[in-house]
């Protein structure tokens, strides 16, 4: 996975995690069952597996263990980072962490240069505010 794809994928994760986090905070985790991407779940996507388990009411420790097993099997370093970011997003959503703190957790795995690239892919105003407040960008 080349750098552009990593940053683009990370931006997609951040955007999707933000949308689902807002929804779950307002309506509860179970409502997310309607947002699971069946094709991605079928392809063993870490984020979709985690959201599916969370929507079914599975506890945090179990979800974390399942997702960590998926991460541990990944050989590609960039894909492993993507999966770690996905897991982090799922755990934040599960625990009802506010979006800005979730962004802090997600972006803690990403260098400043990568954050600048990711920023180019994010259009939502909340991301601009996040980068201005926390990164001084």
pLDDT higher than threshold 80 for residue 56: yes
With CA atoms as reference, report the closest residue to 86 among 24, 25, 6, 10.
Answer: 10
Q: Assign residue 129 a region: left if phi > 0, alpha if psi is -120 to 50, beta otherwise?
A: alpha
Question: Residue 2 burial by CB count (10 A; 0-12/13-18/19+): exposed, middle or buried?
Answer: exposed
Per-residue pLDDT of 40-53, as tens digits, reads 999 999 999 999 99
The share of the chain scoring above pLDDT 70, in percent, equals: 86
With CA atoms as reference, report the closest residue to 108 among 81, 133, 78, 137.
Answer: 81
> pLDDT category, 4, cuts 50, 70, 90?
very low
Cα torsion angle, 86, 18, 103, 97, sign: negative
| Mean pLDDT, rounded, of the chain | 89
């Amino acid at each position: 996975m080349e750098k552009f794809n990593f940053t683009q994928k990370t931006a997609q994760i951040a955007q999707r995690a933000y949308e689902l986090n807002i929804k779950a905070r307002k309506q509860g985790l179970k409502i997310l069952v309607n947002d699971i991407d069946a094709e991605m779940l079928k392809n063993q996507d870490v984020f979709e597996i985690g959201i599916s388990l969370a929507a079914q009411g599975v506890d945090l420790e179990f979800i974390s263990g399942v997702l960590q097993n998926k991460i541990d099997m990944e050989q590609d370093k960039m894909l492993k980072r993507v999966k770690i970011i996905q897991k982090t997003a799922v755990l934040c959503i599960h625990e009802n962490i506010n979006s800005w703190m979730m962004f802090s957790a997600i972006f803690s795995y990403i260098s400043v240069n990568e954050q600048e690239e990711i920023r180019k892919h994010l259009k939502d105003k909340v991301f601009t505010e996040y980068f201005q407040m926390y990164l001084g960008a």
